[in-house]
């Protein structure tokens, strides 16, 4: 329950949520299961100590109406979107190491069940991950689950399927504008050596003296992602420069190869 992020929710939005839960949703009879946590984690008062040390400052505004794009994006990402709960690295107490953009650790990438979660610090025009994405690329990814170069995978699939694909275009644009304003880590903007890509493409195209990995790629992946690794816009994700391929941990990539990737069908981009 990402309540440190929810401290940011404006008072009038919180009232709207209350009204929705109390009057807009039909009640059901439901008894929550007893917690299976062992002592001392089963003790709720223990959270007092965690809150003392790690909780984010409580600073909700009265209203978030009429904010300019980047500020509205900041409000949505840091509060209701709680994007940092997966995209910000966690510390020793499992706390997020930053809760807003005043720290360069904020949204700098994390790890979730062994699957690495990419950085969302996107300022720039060319570089790894979303640094090389345009504002529209981010809007498409969040609203449709796919864009010119990528398709959602892992835990991000349910974020898009159940939340982001229901957002308005103007909120998605505000989020994208905010992410494009965050300065990325130096490594993410380092230019890729062009010659390495050219050599790989030339070797795969010639098809001689291939290593086992290269041969397996051509036989099993090349038909869709191509020898260039560029794929096809909105259909086959680009593997060259993709966060999942560049990540230090191979778990996401291995899982995708073994179990497949299933981009959700969204109302902005239907799939049957």
Tokens 């010639």, residue? 206
d(CA 61, CA 71): 12
Task: Please measure the distance between the N-terminal and C-terminal CA atoms of the chain and give it in whole angstroms.
Answer: 33
Contact range with ligand HEC by CB under 6 A, out of 45-53, 59-67, 190-198, 249-257: 249-257
Options 9, 56, 130, 182; binder of ligand HEC; rule CB under 6 A: 130
Contact range with ligand HEC by CB under 6 A, out of 24-32, 37-45, 91-99, 112-120: 112-120
Q: Closer CB to ligand HEC, residue 29 or residue 118? A: 118
Smallest gap from residue 32 Cβ to ligand HEC (A): 22
C-beta separation of 165 from 144 below 8 A: yes
Q: Is 87 exposed, middle or buried (0-12, 13-18, 19+ CB in 10 A)?
A: buried
Q: Which of 120, 91, 127 is closest to 106 using CA atoms? A: 120
Q: Which of residues 147-206 bind ligand HEC (CB under 6 A)?
A: 150-156, 159, 175
Q: Which of 58, 78, 56 is closest to 179 using CA atoms? A: 78
212: left (phi over 0), alpha (psi -120 to 50) or beta: alpha
Q: Which of residues 65-94 bind ligand HEC (CB under 6 A)?
A: 77, 81, 83, 85-87
Q: Interface mask (CB under 6 A) for ligand HEC, residues 216-235, using x and -? A: ----xx-xxx---------x
Smallest gap from residue 30 Cβ to ligand HEC (A): 24
Options 129, 143, 184, 229; binder of ligand HEC; rule CB under 6 A: 129
Neighbours of 99 (CB within 10 A): 25
C-beta separation of 121 from 105 below 8 A: no
Residues at the site binding ligand HEC, with contacts judged by CB under 6 A: 77, 81, 83, 85-87, 112, 115, 117-118, 120, 129-130, 138, 141-142, 150-156, 159, 175, 220-221, 223-225, 235-237, 239, 242-244, 252-253, 256-257, 261-263
């Amino acid at each position: 329950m990402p309540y440190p992020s929810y401290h940011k929710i404006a008072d009038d939005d919180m009232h709207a949520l209350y009204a929705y839960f109390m009057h807009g949703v039909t009640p059901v009879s439901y008894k929550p299961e007893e917690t299976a946590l062992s002592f001392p984690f089963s003790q709720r008062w223990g959270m007092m100590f965690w809150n003392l040390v790690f909780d984010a400052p409580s600073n909700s505004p009265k209203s978030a109406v009429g904010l300019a794009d980047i500020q509205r994006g900041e409000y949505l990402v840091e509060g209701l979107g709680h994007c940092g709960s997966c995209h910000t690295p966690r510390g020793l107490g499992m706390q997020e190491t930053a809760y807003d953009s005043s720290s360069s650790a904020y949204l700098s990438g994390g790890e979730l069940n062994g699957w690495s979660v990419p950085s969302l610090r996107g300022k720039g025009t060319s570089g790894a991950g979303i640094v090389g994405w345009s504002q529209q690329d981010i809007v498409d990814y969040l609203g449709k689950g796919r864009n010119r170069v990528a398709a959602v995978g892992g835990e991000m699939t349910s974020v898009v399927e159940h939340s982001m694909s229901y957002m308005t275009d103007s909120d998605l644009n505000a989020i994208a504008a905010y992410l494009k304003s965050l300065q990325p880590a130096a490594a993410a903007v380092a230019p890729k050596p062009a010659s390495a890509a050219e050599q790989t493409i030339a070797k795969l195209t010639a098809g001689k003296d291939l290593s086992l990995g290269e041969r397996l790629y051509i036989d099993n992946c090349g038909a869709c992602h191509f020898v260039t690794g560029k794929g096809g816009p909105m259909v086959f994700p680009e593997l060259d420069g993709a966060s999942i391929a560049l990540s230090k941990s191979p778990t996401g990539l291995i899982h995708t190869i073994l179990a497949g990737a299933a981009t959700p069908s969204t109302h902005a981009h239907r799939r049957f």
